[in-house]
Amino acid sequence: MNKKLIIGASGLILGFAAGFFYTKSLNESGAGQVGAAGVKAAGPNAAEGGNPQAMMANVKETIERAKNNPNDFNAQVDAARIYNQVGRVPETIEYLKKAYDLNKTEAGKQGITSYVGQYYADQKNYDEAEKWYQRSLEANPDDRDVKIELAATFIDREPPQADRAIQNLQAVLKSNPKDAHALTHMVQAYLLKKDARSAEDTLARLKEAEPGNNMISKLQTEVESLKAGRPVAIPKE
């Protein structure tokens, strides 16, 4: 799944982490595409009036400022925002990592760490994603969304690490027993462990928590396959 990573134009609107989790669902529905036209919202000093030349001058100025001020945290974040709005995600991540190296505490507060973690998860680089999610949890240990995404890396990697996924998901469900996203991944983890009873019980909890969840029928099919001794394919979101 190609999740376009979008950073807000005025500061870090919604925060990197909150912004990602919002835009991920937005882009899964085919909306939220950002191209070169998005440059007009490129930074706090973006040119007004829709002048393309002025907009591109602002882009160049922002990037040059980051290059000329490598120890300026905000300059690196501004450059990341600019690159992302013109669709150059690898450069976005490069500058976010530079910002992290400059101020780990602030990067954690702003959600940069979880944002980078989701990028690596999307690239199927699950070891690197795990590292950045762990960094995010060091700054925000109660962030349930990040714990769930961390758990997903253990489910999706080869070979899977179902027990580590379950450990993280249990922590989420302890605080919110009806978190449908966590319950979905928990069923997947139990399917990986070939624990039919736990998978079925957790699926029942998911049905109660969110009856309209579009993963229920897929998970139901695989639970029935496991109970019947047939091969199981873990359905993906």
Whether residue 92 is found in the same domain as residue 111: yes
Q: What mean pLDDT is predicted for residues 43-57?
A: 58
The proportion of the chain whose per-residue pLDDT surpasses 70, expressed as a percent, equals 78
18, pLDDT greater than 50: no
pTM attached to this predicted model? 0.78
pLDDT of residue 50: 58
Neighbours of 178 (CB within 10 A): 12
Q: What mean pLDDT is predicted for residues 171-188?
A: 98
Q: For residue 100, tell me if it sits in a domain.
A: yes
Q: What mean pLDDT is predicted for residues 119-124?
A: 95
Q: What is the pLDDT of residues 59-70, one digit of tens each?
A: 899 999 999 999
Asked if omega into 159 is within 30° of 0 (cis), the reply is: yes
Q: For residue 29, tell me if it sits in a domain.
A: yes
Q: For residue 107, tell me if it sits in a domain.
A: yes
Q: For residue 207, tell me if it sits in a domain.
A: yes
- Dihedral (CA of 108, 93, 134, 141) sign: positive
Whether residue 43 is found in the same domain as residue 113: yes
Number of domains in the chain: 2
Whether residue 103 is found in the same domain as residue 168: no
Whether residue 177 is found in the same domain as residue 105: no
Q: Domain boundary residue among 81, 105, 132?
A: 132
Distance of alpha carbon 173 from alpha carbon 169, whole angstroms: 6
Q: What is the CATH number of the domain that holds 86?
A: 1.25.40
Whether residue 108 is found in the same domain as residue 53: yes
Q: Domain boundary residue among 86, 112, 132?
A: 132
Whether residue 14 is found in the same domain as residue 116: yes
Whether residue 121 is found in the same domain as residue 156: no
Distance of alpha carbon 114 from alpha carbon 129, whole angstroms: 9
31, pLDDT greater than 60: no
Q: Which ranges in 29-143 belong to alpha helices (H)?
A: 52-68, 73-85, 89-102, 104-110, 112-122, 126-139
Most confident of 5-9, 20-24, 149-153: 149-153
Q: What is the CATH number of the domain that holds 169?
A: 1.25.40.10
The alpha carbon of 159 is separated from its chain's Cα centroid by a whole number of angstroms, namely: 21
Whether residue 43 is found in the same domain as residue 121: yes
Q: Domain boundary residue among 112, 132, 152?
A: 132
Q: What mean pLDDT is predicted for residues 129-139?
A: 96
Whether residue 117 is found in the same domain as residue 181: no
Using only the alpha carbons of the chain, give its radius of gyration.
20
Structural domain boundaries enclosing 20 = 1-132
Whether residue 72 is found in the same domain as residue 159: no
Whether residue 77 is found in the same domain as residue 103: yes
Q: For residue 151, tell me if it sits in a domain.
A: yes
Q: For residue 137, tell me if it sits in a domain.
A: no
Q: For residue 153, tell me if it sits in a domain.
A: yes
Whether residue 162 is found in the same domain as residue 94: no
pLDDT of residue 58: 82
Backbone torsions φ then ψ of 78, nearest 5 degrees = -60, -40
Q: For residue 54, tell me if it sits in a domain.
A: yes
Least confident of 35-44, 104-113, 134-143: 35-44
